[in-house]
Structure 1
Amino acid sequence: MTPDLLLPYAGTEPVFATPPLWCGRGSTVIGRASLGAEAWLGDDTVIRGDGHDIIAGDRLRLGPRATLHIAQDKYPCILGDHVTVGRNAVVHACTIGDDCVIEADCVVLDGSVVEDGVLIEAGSIVYPRSTLAAGFAYAGSPAEPTRRLAPGELAARAARLLGESPAAPAPLLEAGEARDATVFVARTARLRGPVDLAPGVSVFFACDLAAEAGPIAIGPNVNVQDNSVLRTEGSGLVIERDTTLGHNVRVADGQIGPRSLIGIGAVLAPGTVVGEDVLVAAGAWTEPGQVLESGWLWGGRPARRLGPLDAGKREMMRRIVQQYAGYGRTYRKAQAALLPPAG
């Protein structure tokens, strides 16, 4: 089998040691990605090797909406043999050893090293540049060792993750839908209802934007990264200009101010209002109706102020917007060349 969408990046095509055993609907593999034998890719999985390498060993197993990505020109994403990644988990710019299980809704962040035979339990966040020692279960945010693993536990957990029934994916975006020439919408993204995309917006692979209960309005130069889910429940959602939504972010009704960054795996509850120049840390959750004041780093569950944004963080946020604008231009051209809209 082959993924739903295969794209080159900077002239490099993905490489598979053997054809995957399974590729779900919306599965996407891009660029500098090399997968070992007998990979299994669930619905809406994204493996995006742009700007660095993604190298996975044999028998990689990705649950629905799992995302593998890199840090451009800084960190690759390396996974050993027999790695299982659960639903809606993100493995980002880090190294994972052999025989590891990363459960649903986990985030493993840049520069981390997960040694062989590790279990990361559901909902855990592995902070940047952490080292997780072999033979332990880890849980929490930040992920901490909780106990030694019992014999056979990893295999049982992996089997359970693979046995979870995926939800039926929604219809894909209709081919040929008219949009501004500067807008990028991935062919494995789904948009439903009144979704307004301003010039320069990028909606990346396997995102799901459902505006059936209220409108979604996205301002200029916003990037919505892989596997993010935006679903309104009534009043609608407004995202203002030059803002980033990281991988696997979940957002309901509310407002996000300009020049903000919502970190990987964050969840914004209905009615959340994010001010301008706000950084929401990876894996943070807000409470319904919470207001995140401008100019601060927010993190935790529920989110709380961690400190004012300094010049370095503001520059990082600005750089990500520029970087993703470049990604959008590149993928718009590659997608048009590979998959022209049906006539």
Structure 2
Amino acid sequence: MRCPRPSVEKDIRVTPDLILPYDGVQPDFASRPVWCGRGSTVIGAARIGAQAWIGDDAVIRADGQSVTLGERFWLGHRSTVHIATLVRGTQVGDRVTVGRNSVVHACTVGSDVVIEDDVVILDGAEIGDGAVIEAGSTVFPRAQLPGGYAYAGSPARPKQKVNADDVAERAERLRERMGDGPTPPAGDPPEVEPSVFVARTATVRGRVSLGAGSTVLFCCDLNAEAGPIVIGADTNIQDNTVIRTRGEGVVIGRDTTIAHNVRIADSRIGARSLIGIGAAIAPGTLIADDVMLAAGATTDPGQILEAGYLWGGRPARILAPLDAEKRATMIRIVEGYCRHGREYRAAQEALS
């Protein structure tokens, strides 16, 4: 069933701000969520268990594979649950708590798991029952993290043993800290050409230029009130990415992917590049054309990332040359998001 419209007081939000089908499939809620925050978005073949709590600007996106979330799932403000299109879905057990600005991506998470703030869990990872992923950690692709431990770092490694009481206490503390997020100032919808998609739950303010075929996805926040933001043709800005300028502005070249929950300050990012999930781009960074920046990586202010390499780490360093397989993957992602943009624009307009 689709999530029912609220029949209680207006200040109690029990329906996501935006629900969209994907490929004809609507999200399926086992029962009305306990809470749905401002800008919350649920897409496609998502099955959400009873007593869910979905925070402000939280995104659950099942477009191409399924997302299954167990009972009492808690998704914090500006966090994202997504899949690897045509490759792998996401499955999460019961009583899982996710903090703020975290990404749960194409992986399997057991029951009674705590995922703290600013965590990235990548494709094919498996998290056992009763685990804790501490704030700021990155779980690398295909990692297997048994339950009963707290994990930290990038890559996430065992830090200490935890028992059921420890996990429950951490979950409770995380939920108590969540509170209610601030309401961002509303921006006027940007004027865009028909090939551009801007999600209804995205916020776009100031001098923002969007190239033909570009996409700005759900719950992104683009603030160009202090300096311009220029986004090239066919470039995709994925869920919960925040771009904020302080003067010089941000320029992103064409055919580039900015993944989920990226943070970008005044900088230049070249064409045909990929900025990985949860990365942070410091002011003054210059990223050349044909660069892949790994998930969870950061740059130093003023850092220059040379063309033709995979960069990663905190701060980023060269890990390997970009091979033909990585370049082909980057092209496929851009093509896929151009297609997504057309599909989402049609589905969003059908709600009007």
TM-score computed with the length of structure 2 as normaliser: 0.95
CA distance in structure 2 between the partners assigned to 1:172 and 1:335 by the alignment: 19
Corresponding residue number in structure 1 for 2:101? 88
Whether 2:181 is the aligned partner of 1:167: answer: yes
Alignment of 1:4-43 (within 5 A): 4-43=17-56
Alignment of 1:20-169 (within 5 A): 20-164=33-177, 165-169=179-183
Q: Secondary structure at the match of 2:185?
A: coil
CA RMSD of aligned residues (A): 0.9
Whether 2:347 is the aligned partner of 1:321: answer: no
* Corresponding letter in the other structure for 2:101: N
Cα contact 2:188–2:205 (8 A) shared by 1: no
Q: CA deviation at 1:156?
A: 1.4
Q: Deviations over 1:145-187 (max 9, x none)?
A: 1110145111111112111234313134435x42111000000
Residue ranges of structure 1 left out of the alignment (5+ in a row): none
CA distance in structure 2 between the partners assigned to 1:162 and 1:4 by the alignment: 21
Query: Out of 309, 312, 315, which is 1:302 matched to?
Result: 315
Q: CA deviation at 1:133?
A: 0.4
Q: Deviations over 1:208-235 (max 9, x none)?
A: 0001111001110000000000000111
Cα contact 2:84–2:105 (8 A) shared by 1: yes
* Corresponding letter in the other structure for 2:199: A
* Corresponding letter in the other structure for 1:169: T
Q: Secondary structure at the match of 2:226?
A: coil
Q: CA deviation at 1:6?
A: 0.3
Corresponding residue number in structure 2 for 1:311? 324
CA distance in structure 2 between the partners assigned to 1:101 and 1:262 by the alignment: 26
Q: CA deviation at 1:93?
A: 0.2
Corresponding residue number in structure 1 for 2:206? 193
* Corresponding letter in the other structure for 2:247: G
CA distance in structure 2 between the partners assigned to 1:132 and 1:328 by the alignment: 35
Instruction: Tell which deviates more after alignment, 158-167 or 177-186.
Output: 158-167
Query: Out of 273, 283, 294, which is 1:270 matched to?
Result: 283
CA distance in structure 2 between the partners assigned to 1:293 and 1:104 by the alignment: 31
Cα contact 1:172–1:188 (8 A) shared by 2: no
Q: CA deviation at 1:258?
A: 0.3
* Corresponding letter in the other structure for 2:321: P
TM-score computed with the length of structure 1 as normaliser: 0.97
Q: Secondary structure at the match of 2:45?
A: strand
Cα contact 1:173–1:189 (8 A) shared by 2: no
Corresponding residue number in structure 1 for 2:232? 219
Q: Secondary structure at the match of 1:273?
A: strand
Q: Secondary structure at the match of 1:211?
A: strand
CA distance in structure 2 between the partners assigned to 1:186 and 1:167 by the alignment: 20
Cα contact 1:172–1:187 (8 A) shared by 2: no
Whether 2:256 is the aligned partner of 1:246: answer: no
CA distance in structure 2 between the partners assigned to 1:151 and 1:111 by the alignment: 25
Residue ranges of structure 2 left out of the alignment (5+ in a row): 1-13
Cα contact 2:22–2:43 (8 A) shared by 1: yes
Q: Deviations over 1:284-332 (max 9, x none)?
A: 0000000000001000000000011000000000000000001100000
Query: Percent identity of the aligned residues?
Result: 58
CA distance in structure 2 between the partners assigned to 1:248 and 1:268 by the alignment: 12
CA distance in structure 2 between the partners assigned to 1:172 and 1:121 by the alignment: 33
CA distance in structure 1 between the partners assigned to 2:223 and 2:163 by the alignment: 42
Cα contact 2:150–2:162 (8 A) shared by 1: yes
Cα contact 2:124–2:142 (8 A) shared by 1: yes
Q: Secondary structure at the match of 2:123?
A: coil
Q: Secondary structure at the match of 1:11?
A: coil
Q: Secondary structure at the match of 1:13?
A: coil
Q: CA deviation at 1:72?
A: 1.0
Corresponding residue number in structure 1 for 2:7? none
CA distance in structure 1 between the partners assigned to 2:136 and 2:180 by the alignment: 18
CA distance in structure 2 between the partners assigned to 1:226 and 1:171 by the alignment: 18
CA distance in structure 2 between the partners assigned to 1:154 and 1:186 by the alignment: 36
Q: Secondary structure at the match of 1:215?
A: strand
